[in-house]
Amino acid sequence: MLILTTQDIHLEQKATDKSSAIAAIAADLTHSGFVEDKYVQGMLEREAQASTFLGNGIAIPHGTPGTRQYVKKTAVCVHHFPQGVDWGNGNTVYVAIGIAAQSDEHLEILKQLTHALSNDDVEQQIKSVTQAQDLVDILSGKNIPKDLIFDEKSFLLDFPATDLTQLLAVAAGMLKNRQIAQGEFVAEIINQPPRYLGSGVWLAVSNKALTQSGISIVRAKDKGMYQDNPVKLVIVIAAFDRTYWNVIDGLTVLIYQKNLPKLINANAMQMITLLTKEEKTGEKAIFTITNAHGLHARPGATLVSVVKKFSADIWVSNLEGTGQYVKAKSLMKVIGLGVKKGNRLCFLAKGKDAKEALEAIGQAIADRLGE
């Protein structure tokens, strides 16, 4: 796994323009033995094809597919420009992350940057940073609130037990096993009275000994009883921050609409949709990515540029990932899907030109997104 370290950081750099900035980064990559001299030409050619500016003062210059042969070892080199560098089109770069990748190892770096770029304050933070470790923390998203842990691994359906305490213990243990909760959390979930929501659904929440918010759901194979109420489904919430609030909102809606039985009978992904209110509607199409290195910056940018030509609302999910939909017009969100060769992308489009959009997206993917 490729992870940013302080050894990759070069603070207090200066450059008159982006070409000289890229040349300096390539020189450091060459000096460190990561690339051959010719790799710099690939980085400059790539920049001429399309800007590597990502937003919030960050760019990711890298070579073309044709110059991967000059990469000796996958690596990154980060140059920090406190005075900024004009990257064209009115964009100023304060941090340029030079990437030399032999295959798709750099996708992990792009996923880390996705978290960092979700922070509206990141540009100001990187401008004023003075310590290498601080820059690593910012770029790695260490100080960004972590996402809610609620995915296909959050469920244990048709568990062969009917005792409420046992079901709660199992659900709490699932969160502990995912290393977002400790024993004190499990003990409180077991010992505190759970809340009965109706229709056999029980809820337990604790904020003890957590590192992140998360949710686990256990459904009993057979119905049990507790205090004269049926036991069929338990929901346990690790309440570290506010990221779980939308799930509480989803539960409230289901209770108000008397739709808890629908939740009980759903599969894992349907439960996520019901509780997070992320159900999407519209025209649907699934395409397989055949690019050798998946959706890294260049093909990702090409895909987003195609999507932006249409007025329709368009979402995309990686069916080999979490299955969650993100806005297809956001490069950061698309890169954050971590799409590799062979992954299937499901697009949903809603609007007057939805069908045309999906056709164009399908054609662009068939054409390997410009590669």
Position 117 scores a pLDDT of: 66
**Cα 165 to Cα 213: distance, rounded to the nearest angstrom:** 22
| Domain 6-139 listed as CATH 3.40.50.2000 | no
Residue 293 pLDDT greater than 60, yes or no: yes
Check residues 345 and 292 and name the one with the higher pLDDT: 345
The string of DSSP codes covering 109-128 is: HHHHHHHHHT-TTHHHHHHH
CA atoms within 13 Å, Cβ hemisphere of 115: 19
pLDDT band at 45 (very low <50, low <70, confident <90, very high): very high
Window from 140-144, 287-291, 353-357 with minimum mean pLDDT: 140-144
**153-166 per-position pLDDT tens digit:** 999 999 999 999 99
Active site residues: 62, 296
Using an 8 Å Cβ cutoff, are 144 and 118 in contact?
yes
Q: What angle do CA 329, 273, 167 make, to 5 degrees?
A: 140
Highest mean predicted confidence (pLDDT) among 104-108, 126-130, 295-299: 126-130
CA-to-CA separations, 125 to 2, 121, 149, in angstroms, rounded:
23, 6, 27
**Cα 336 to Cα 52: distance, rounded to the nearest angstrom:** 16
Residue 278 pLDDT greater than 60, yes or no: no
Residue 358 pLDDT greater than 80, yes or no: yes
Position 119 scores a pLDDT of: 61
Provide the mean pLDDT of the chain: 89
Domain boundaries, the chain: 6-139, 152-276, 283-370
Intrachain domains 152-276 and 283-370 with the same fold: no
Domain 283-370, CATH: 3.30.1340.10
Helix (H, G, I), strand (E, B) or coil at 81: strand
Q: What is the mean pLDDT of residues 210-239?
A: 96
Position 247 scores a pLDDT of: 92
| Domain 152-276 listed as CATH 3.40.930.10 | yes
Check residues 91 and 280 and name the one with the higher pLDDT: 91
